[in-house]
Amino acid sequence: MITLFHAPGSRSVRIIWLLEELGLDYELEVLKRGEINQAFIKASPFSKLPTIIDGEVVMSESVAIVQYILQNYGEGRLEPNHDSEAYAEYLQWLHFGESVLIDPIVSILINKVFRPEEHRHEYSIKSAEKSFMKVIKTLNSIMEGRTYIMGDDFTAADIINGYTLRLADNLKLLSDAPETENVVCYFRSLQSRAAYQKAISDTTH
Ligand SMILES: N[C@@H](CCC(=O)N[C@@H](CS)C(=O)NCC(=O)O)C(=O)O
């Protein structure tokens, strides 16, 4: 069984969401603030979440973990067939959510939340907000007429991007303005999924 090291709100939410969508059994090791967890230190040399252990396999990059789980346990679910043309587009969206889309959000989080107040940098916040809006407006036009990021079918790319949009929503970066409404509508539909709800609940199950 997969063991997942998790902290509420962190990228490990993506992996719970995936495991719940697939209906797979898993064991959660919830990390508590200020507590030293030797098993986590051993499994994750960079101290990053999510980290999974599956037998001899130890991994700690969320997108790679998603690819690994689908490859080994997905039975073809939540991704296009690897031989199909759609697979290339799917891979692109899968990685987009942990690169282009999340980059400005991380910068905003660092400067608005993580750093002590005296080291926060207003210009970096404004510039990251501008970058985020540029990306989100383009995404908004791509999402016109699409239910999910790949079109009609829910895939793991929605999990990666959905978590990132949750961060944006928490930072009040999403609004119902016409230039972002398709993205907001998409995110609201992701929020209504039972697996998402379970992943964001304060998971001590
Ligand atoms: N690209 C990595 C990023 C991992 C990451 O930065 N995780 C954060 C939690 S969301 C973390 O572990 N932060 C603790 C730290 O940086 O020490 C992924 O997608 O898994």
Tens of pLDDT, residue by residue over 170-179, are: 999 998 888 9
Q: Where in the chain is the domain with CATH 3.40.30.10?
A: 2-78
Distance 186 CA to ligand 1 centre (A): 25
Predicted local confidence at residue 177, as pLDDT = 87
In the sheet where 26-30 sits, what is the strand order?
A: 26-30, 2-6, 51-54, 57-59
Predicted local confidence at residue 57, as pLDDT = 98
Q: Where in the chain is the domain with CATH 1.20.1050.10?
A: 86-195
Predicted local confidence at residue 33, as pLDDT = 82
Predicted local confidence at residue 62, as pLDDT = 98
Q: What parts of the chain have a pLDDT lower than 50?
A: 205
What fold, for 86-195? Glutathione S-transferase Yfyf (Class Pi); Chain A, domain 2 (1.20.1050)
Output the residue whose Cα is nearest ligand 1's atom 6: 48
Write down the pTM of the prediction: 0.96
Distance 51 CA to ligand 1 centre (A): 9
- For residue 89 and ligand 1, the question of a CB distance below 6 A is answered with no
Enter the tokens of residue 86: 């759609």
CATH superfamily membership of 2-78: Glutaredoxin (3.40.30.10)
Ligand 1 mutation target, pool 5, 49, 67, most atoms within 8 A of CB:
49
Predicted local confidence at residue 203, as pLDDT = 55
Predicted local confidence at residue 205, as pLDDT = 43
Predicted local confidence at residue 157, as pLDDT = 98
Write down the residue that tokens 């992943």 correspond to. 199
Predicted local confidence at residue 35, as pLDDT = 86
